[in-house]
């Protein structure tokens, strides 16, 4: 059984890594918020489209991470490297495929979903450059899976700091035209993000070569494609790939609904979503820790302690989030002023902040138990639970956003419903289902 200190030692580097990583999103939103509402809206739509595709790779890496953590817990260290190598090879091929498909199909799909000609043209320009990031980001997530799976998470902080610094400097230079570089606006934000992801991959390669025992983890032999091993990875990952893609696709649906309310409502939604994502970082770091530690614990034969572990982590998550939300509710304008200095936009965004505050408190517990289910290896069950809650999420968004044309703050109430249902379904599954003996 893991102590609070051990949980924190795994979690805090992931937290710092996610924090540094999300500086990219915050920087893009903050800088483009000072360029114009069209650019801000286009970065939201284009960024979400990019993330929807990226989450397919992220879902695969999560399944790989579960398998790596299980082998690490079992002491089968030499079996870790082959999972990493096969996974990286698969994702590189997937990056080529999805780059081609996105380049060919994205403009037609976006034209159907976005009603504003100005936002459509800007979104298309943003994506034309942003999708080059697939080739770097898809490999980055496999390195992340490796280090989380073997519980050496401090490197994630260092990596994310490098990526964030590169992005912030290049955002400032390329969006506004500083340091002798051309003023590129929205296109500059996309290029800066791609270069930052390339810098992240370079850091992972150098660090792994210098600091990881290749022989211990079976990384010293490059292998041809092992379809048997790849099939075992996919038997876990295919469900997380679909799960993460659908989760992000519903965010895209949310923004499609809000875009029809007008550019101002879309700008508010983008700002509030950026704050929302940052506020979720402590929960995400503890959720990722739950996923890895549950798999490690089962590998060590400690299945009877799994629920106790989830309960301990969920209490930590709830307390941290309660403090964060309290600060957000007391000082909303301080958070919003990072993104805009327009007084009217600040005031109109505050109701949405209060709504996401409620969602965040529920999410602090819901995400822990839900990720614990994936950590047991029961990724198919996790997908089914996600599908049930997302179906209700999408129906609600269509009703309040597209049918009722409700204000954006009311649209954000779908997050409260989503996390409440996710928590309820997860607890029922863990109490009633037979999940203890899943082999991976």
Point out the least confidently predicted range of 25-34, 59-68, 228-237. 25-34
Tell whether 81 is covered by a domain. Answer: yes
Instruction: Report, as an integer, the average pLDDT of 159-184.
Output: 90
Tell whether 440 is covered by a domain. Answer: no
DSSP characters for 19-54? HHHHHHHHHHHHHHTTT-HHHHHHHHHHHHHHHHHH
What count of residues does the chain have? 440
Instruction: Report, as an integer, the average pLDDT of 197-222.
Output: 92
Confidence of residue 132 (pLDDT cuts 50, 70, 90): very high
Query: According to the model, what pLDDT value does residue 439 have?
Result: 67
Averaged pLDDT of the chain:
87
Query: According to the model, what pLDDT value does residue 90 have?
Result: 94
Query: According to the model, what pLDDT value does residue 208 have?
Result: 95
Point out the least confidently predicted range of 3-12, 107-116, 283-292, 395-404. 3-12
Query: DSSP 3-state assignment of 216?
Result: coil
Query: DSSP 3-state assignment of 337?
Result: coil
Confidence of residue 204 (pLDDT cuts 50, 70, 90): very high
- The answer to whether 233 and 87 are in contact (CB under 8 A) is yes
Q: Which domain holds residue 258?
A: 4-432
CB atoms closer than 10 angstroms to residue 36: 16
Inform me whether the pLDDT recorded for 440 exceeds 70: no
Query: Which range, 264-273, 283-292, 400-409, 411-420, is most confident?
Result: 411-420
The tally of domains found in the chain comes to 1
What's the pLDDT tens digit per position in 244-293? Answer: 888 878 877 887 788 777 778 878 887 888 888 888 988 988 998 898 88
Query: According to the model, what pLDDT value does residue 367 have?
Result: 94
Rounded Cα–Cα distance for residues 357 and 412 (Å): 10
Share of the chain above pLDDT 90, in %: 37
Query: According to the model, what pLDDT value does residue 403 have?
Result: 86
Inform me whether the pLDDT recorded for 17 exceeds 80: no
Tell whether 437 is covered by a domain. Answer: no
3-state helix, strand, coil in the chain (%, to 5): 85, 0, 15
Rounded Cα–Cα distance for residues 5 and 11 (Å): 10
Point out the least confidently predicted range of 143-152, 375-384, 385-394. 375-384
Tell whether 94 is covered by a domain. Answer: yes
Query: According to the model, what pLDDT value does residue 97 have?
Result: 96
Inform me whether the pLDDT recorded for 369 exceeds 90: yes
**Nearby residues of 251 by Cβ (< 8 Å), 6 or more positions away:** 48, 51, 52, 273
Tell whether 414 is covered by a domain. Answer: yes
Q: Which residue matches tokens 């600040």? A: 346
Confidence of residue 438 (pLDDT cuts 50, 70, 90): low
Confidence of residue 353 (pLDDT cuts 50, 70, 90): very high
Inform me whether the pLDDT recorded for 385 exceeds 80: yes
Q: Which residue matches tokens 């269509």? A: 398
- The answer to whether 79 and 141 are in contact (CB under 8 A) is no
Tell whether 355 is covered by a domain. Answer: yes
Tell whether 438 is covered by a domain. Answer: no
Rounded Cα–Cα distance for residues 264 and 280 (Å): 24
Rounded Cα–Cα distance for residues 385 and 428 (Å): 10
Instruction: Report, as an integer, the average pLDDT of 151-178.
Output: 89
Query: According to the model, what pLDDT value does residue 283 have?
Result: 92
Tell whether 397 is covered by a domain. Answer: yes
Share of the chain above pLDDT 70, in %: 96
Instruction: Report, as an integer, the average pLDDT of 114-140.
Output: 90
């Amino acid at each position: 059984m893991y102590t609070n200190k051990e949980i924190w030692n795994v979690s805090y580097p992931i937290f710092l890594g996610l924090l540094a990583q999300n500086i990219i999103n915050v920087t893009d939103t903050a800088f483009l918020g000072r360029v114009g509402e069209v650019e801000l809206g286009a970065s939201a739509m284009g960024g979400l489209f990019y993330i929807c595709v990226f989450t397919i790779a992220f879902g695969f890496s999560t399944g790989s991470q579960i398998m790596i953590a299980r082998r690490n817990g079992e002491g089968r260290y030499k079996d870790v490297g082959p999972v990493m190598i096969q996974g990286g090879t698969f994702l590189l091929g997937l990056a080529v495929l999805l780059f081609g498909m996105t380049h060919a199909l994205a403009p037609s799909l976006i034209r159907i979903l976005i009603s504003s000609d100005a936002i459509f043209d800007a979104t298309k320009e943003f994506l034309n450059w942003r999708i080059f990031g697939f080739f770097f980001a898809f490999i980055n997530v496999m390195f992340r899976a490796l280090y989380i799976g073997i519980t050496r998470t401090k490197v994630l902080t260092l990596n994310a700091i490098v990526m964030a610094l590169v992005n912030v400097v290049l955002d400032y230079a390329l969006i506004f035209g500083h340091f002798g570089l051309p003023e590129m606006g929205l296109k500059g934000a996309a290029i800066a993000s791609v270069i930052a992801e390339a810098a992240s991959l370079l850091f992972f390669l150098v660090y792994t070569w210098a600091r990881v025992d290749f022989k211990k983890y079976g990384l010293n032999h490059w292998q041809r494609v092992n379809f048997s091993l790849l099939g075992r990875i996919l038997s876990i990952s295919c469900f997380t790939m679909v799960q993460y893609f659908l989760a992000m696709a519903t965010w895209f649906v949310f923004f499609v609904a809000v875009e029809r309310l007008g550019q101002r409502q879309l700008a508010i939604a983008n700002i509030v979503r950026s704050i929302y994502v940052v506020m979720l970082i402590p929960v995400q770091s503890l959720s990722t820790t739950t996923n890895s530690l549950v798999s490690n614990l089962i590998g060590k034969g400690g299945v009877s302690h799994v629920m106790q572990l989830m309960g301990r982590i969920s209490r930590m998550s709830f307390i941290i989030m309660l403090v964060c939300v309290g600060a957000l509710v007391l000082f909303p304008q301080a958070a919003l002023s990072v993104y805009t200095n327009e007084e009217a936009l600040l005031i109109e965004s505050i109701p949405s902040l209060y709504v996401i505050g409620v969602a965040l408190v529920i999410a602090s517990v819901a995400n822990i138990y839900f990720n614990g289910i994936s950590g047991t290896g029961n990724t198919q069950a996790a997908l089914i639970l996600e599908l049930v809650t997302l179906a209700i999420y999408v129906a609600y968004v269509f009703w309040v956003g597209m049918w009722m044309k409700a204000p954006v703050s009311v649209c954000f109430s779908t997050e409260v419903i989503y996390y409440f249902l996710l928590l309820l379904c997860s607890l029922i599954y863990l109490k009633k289902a037979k999940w203890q003996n899943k082999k991976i």
